[in-house]
Amino acid sequence: MRGDGAAGHLYRSFDDCETSMPDHKPFAAFLFDMDGTLLNSVIAAERVWAKWAQKHGLDVDRFLPTIHGVRSIDTVRKQNIPGIDVQQEADAISQAEIEDVEGVAAIEGVADFLASLPADRWAVVTSAPLALAQARMKAAGLTLPDVVITAEDVTQGKPAPDGFLLAAKRLGVEPAQCLVFEDAPAGIAAGKAAGAPVVVITAAHLHPYEAQDWTLPNYLGLKVGVENGQLILNS
């Protein structure tokens, strides 16, 4: 489901807030966030989290913007709700999200773009647990790459850089030689903390993205070439 037709709490892309892409700059690998970057899961995620927030007496409208781009366990822990088992609550939320993938859809153009990449030159770095990543990617008609970093793989989730650092390590490249594709503030901060340049995908955004980052509304028309073993973007 595209952000330009959906209710939610992220941002919408506008042409006048987009900046130029790093065309023709060489990169060793591409590191992709999943939710909001490869696929749009805003509506599905917010359905599940809204029920949980209501159950625990939280202000739903204020709470929902905080769930995107971070691990479920970190979101639950930050609420400081007395008498709950944080891990059990996070696990229950993840299971509910696995069971509710209605409306999850690939960002426009992403399938062709991913298919054009060398298999050993890209990874997914997501705050979702592996089972949820598998469920959402399947629902979106996308395939996970060989290197996937999920919530279970790191002790510190985004905005800490751990996931991107681990992905680069497993790909055998330096983080600074990678290009990170992200959508949420926590992930953008994580990519930058890893020392990598970041491009922001705005397809799932419901408000203008105003920071001075490279932005793209989707992957339509985005192409990649390989020169001297490096990935070269052409938009």
**Dihedral sign from CA coordinates of 214, 151, 52, 40:** positive
At 210, the pLDDT band (50, 70, 90 cuts) reads low
Would you state the pLDDT for residue 21?
Answer: 58
Q: Cβ atoms within 10 A of the Cβ of 227, count? A: 9
- 148 and 35 housed in the same domain: yes
Would you state the pLDDT for residue 1?
Answer: 30
- 46 and 161 housed in the same domain: no
**Residue finishing a domain among 79, 99, 119:** 99
At 183, the pLDDT band (50, 70, 90 cuts) reads very high
Identify the domain containing residue 167 by its residue range. 3-40+104-234
Would you state the pLDDT for residue 120?
Answer: 97
Contact 184, 33 (CB under 8 A): yes
- 154 and 219 housed in the same domain: yes
- 49 and 140 housed in the same domain: no
Would you state the pLDDT for residue 235?
Answer: 72
**Residue finishing a domain among 99, 131, 166:** 99
Would you state the pLDDT for residue 141?
Answer: 98
Would you state the pLDDT for residue 209?
Answer: 62
- 180 and 70 housed in the same domain: no
**Residues annotated as part of the active site:** 33, 35
Q: Kindly report the pTM of this predicted structure.
A: 0.84
At 207, the pLDDT band (50, 70, 90 cuts) reads low
Query: Which of 14-23, 44-53, 120-129, 202-211 is predicted most confidently?
Result: 120-129
Q: Say if residue 214's pLDDT is above 60.
A: yes
pLDDT more than 90, % of the chain? 77
Q: Say if residue 14's pLDDT is above 90.
A: no
Would you state the pLDDT for residue 140?
Answer: 98
- 110 and 224 housed in the same domain: yes
- 47 and 144 housed in the same domain: no
Q: Say if residue 19's pLDDT is above 50.
A: no
- 176 and 78 housed in the same domain: no
Q: How do residues 33-92 score in pLDDT, each as one tens digit?
A: 999 999 999 899 899 989 999 999 999 999 988 888 788 899 999 999 999 999 999 999
The enclosing domain of 34 has a CATH number of 3.40.50.1000
- The whole-angstrom separation of Cα 28 and Cα 226 is 10
- 131 and 90 housed in the same domain: no
Domain count for the chain, please give it.
2
Q: Say if residue 114's pLDDT is above 60.
A: yes
- 59 and 151 housed in the same domain: no
- 175 and 85 housed in the same domain: no
- 31 and 77 housed in the same domain: no
Q: Say if residue 199's pLDDT is above 80.
A: yes
Would you state the pLDDT for residue 10?
Answer: 36
